[in-house]
Every structure is written in structure tokens, then in C-alpha cells.
Structure 1
Amino acid sequence: MNDTPSASPAPQAAPGRWRRFACMMYEAILLFGVVFVADYLFDTLTQSRHALMLRHERQAWLFCVIGVYFVLCWRLGGQTLPMKTWHIRLIDADGGRPPVWKAVLRYVLAWPFTLTGLGFVWTFFDRDRQFPHDRIVGTRLVSTR
């Protein structure tokens, strides 16, 4: 029996669409808390009295806070809490965690595809059922079970 690892590991299967969708719904619930705390901190530091005060600055702040959350999770463990729950991991082309620049680029590119719904529709036509931003960046979502 050969105990040495093979040169190229077998490709891991992409998670199913329903599992990804459930993960995205869980992520939205978790992000509600992240946004609430970040927005409270913004209001406290800027002493803004209502949501329309400093609207563009608030949006930029929340975009950055959400980005830090995702990039740190993807970089440190390859998963957010909902991704762990639903057994989904983000990997790079070599099977490891993506570098910071890829995680940042994936986060930025995910916005237009997610907001329009095109990212999810794309998975029906992609040969590996990957999101378009994963194709562009060179990352992929894999099932961990």
C-alpha cells in the first residue's frame, strides 16, 4: 500500500444550490447583527441623529465592515459561521485558503452578481456550479461533507 499523498488531489464537489441558498439566508441573519453593531458604532462616533445623515459615509463604512468580516473569515478559516454550519468551504486553486487579495477581490466582485441575482443563476450554466466571481478570481466553493 502506498502511503505517500498523490500529486494532485481529487477535485472536491461543489455544494448543492439549496444548501448554498440556505447558507446565504443564514449569512443574512448573521450580517444583520454585524451591521447593527457597526451602524451603532458609526452613529456614536459621528453623533448622527438619523440614517440619512452622512448617508454615503455610512454606506462606505458598512461596505468596509462587511468586507472585513468576510475577508477575515475566508482567509483565517476558509469559512464563515454559516459556511461551517452548512459544510461549505472557500478554497483557492491549490486547495488551500485564498490569499488576502483574492478574498478582497471576491468580496468586491460578489456584490453586483449577488444584488442582481445573476450569480445564483450562473451556477445553472457553469460546468462546476461555481459563482461567476469565483471563476474570475480563481476560487471555488466546495462541500466539506
Structure 2
Amino acid sequence: MPASPCARTPRADSAPGLWRRMACWLYEGLLLCGVVFIAGYLFGALSQTRNALDNRHALQAFLFVVFGIYFTWFWARGQTLAQKTWRIRVLDRAGNPPTQVRALLRYVLSWLWFLPPLAVAAPFSLSGEEAAVAVLGWVALWAVLSRFHPQRQFWHDALAGTRLVRCEIPKK
């Protein structure tokens, strides 16, 4: 199967706009529902779990690994399905798709979107609604902080040595 036209013509000189990146982020979350469904079904079948609360922490660890495989595999090839839709590519500093190690590092660092508010919510026994507000507030703050990066990249990308670039589909 030939590579997408976007794969051949990244606009390495500019990051996608924040609204485009966040729309891609939300779409990625929607697509992950299918990954969660299949992985959850597989986990339940293999572990013979009958109640959703049984083996909850093992399921969370399993999903963490599945998400890591999903993102590392796609990012090492340059883009996920959501990024193809929104014409965004992940590149390393040299302008190439990241290696699997760098993609895995990006995955681990991308948890900075969620872990700080969850770490704060746990000791204070926040309710579900309060924790959701904390997470959404942190996500908004983390996204806006990209405005302070010289190339307007998310900070987990800067730490991982990757960057998001716009892709232009060539005109015929």
C-alpha cells in the first residue's frame, strides 16, 4: 500500500495550530474507545473476569501497555489514524519519523497530560466530578503552555525530542 501523500510533504517549518492539535487529540480519544473495547474484551476473556471491578488495576496496567504499543507503533511510522485525518505528523529533531525508543519516550512523557491532576486528586479524595474538573483544567493549561515553546510545540514533545508538523497534500 503506498504511503499517504501527507507522508511525503511535511511542513517542517511550522507546528499545527493549537485548535487543530486539540481536535486531533479529541478524535484520538474517540478512536481509542475501540482499542479499549477490544483490549478490555481480550483481557476479560483471558483472565476470566466476570465483574468489571475485579482485576481493575491489572486491567489498567494492561491498557497502559496496549496504548503504549499502539502509539509507539504508529508514531514510529509518523502518524496515527487521527493524525492522518488532521494532517499532522510526528517527527524527530532531524525531520524523520521517531525511532521506536523515541516514540516510546514520547508515549511515557505524554502522560503529563493526566498524571499531575490525578496525583493531586488521590490524596485529597476528590469526587469524580472534582477530579474531572482538575484533569480538564490541567489539560487546558498544558495545551496553552505550548504557546511558550519557541516552536509552539507541546512540552512533552520538547522533552522527548519530537515535534508535530503540518502536512500538506500536494495539489495535482
Shorter-normalised TM range: 0.7 to 0.9
Find the counterpart in structure 2 of residue 109 from structure 1. 109
**1:55-114 CA deviation, whole Å, 9 max, x = no partner?**
1110000001011111000112x0001101111000011100111111111101111235
Contact 2:71–2:107 (CA under 8 A) maintained in structure 1: yes
Name the CA distance, whole Å, in 1 between partners of 2:142 and 2:108. Answer: 13
The gaps in structure 2 that reach 5 residues or longer are 1-10, 115-134
The Cα RMSD (Å) is 1.4
Dislocated runs of 4+, deviation >3 Å? none
Higher helix share: 2
Find the counterpart in structure 1 of residue 87 from structure 2. 87
Amino acid at match of 1:39: G
Find the counterpart in structure 2 of residue 4 from structure 1. none
The gaps in structure 1 that reach 5 residues or longer are 1-9
| Higher relative contact order, chain-length normalized (CA < 8 Å, sep 6+) | 2
| Number of equivalent positions | 135
| Aligned residues with identical type, % of pairs | 50
Find the counterpart in structure 1 of residue 152 from structure 2. 129
Could you tell me how far 1:127 is from its partner in structure 2?
Answer: 1.7
TM-score (structure 1 length as normaliser): 0.88
Task: Show the 5 A alignment for 1:1-145.
Answer: 11-76=12-77, 78-114=78-114, 116-117=138-139, 118-145=141-168
Name the CA distance, whole Å, in 2 between partners of 1:75 and 1:131. Answer: 18
Name the CA distance, whole Å, in 2 between partners of 1:95 and 1:82. Answer: 20
Could you tell me how far 1:11 is from its partner in structure 2?
Answer: 4.3
Amino acid at match of 1:67: G
Partner SS, residue 165 of structure 2: strand
Name the CA distance, whole Å, in 1 between partners of 2:48 and 2:104. Answer: 30
Find the counterpart in structure 1 of residue 122 from structure 2. none
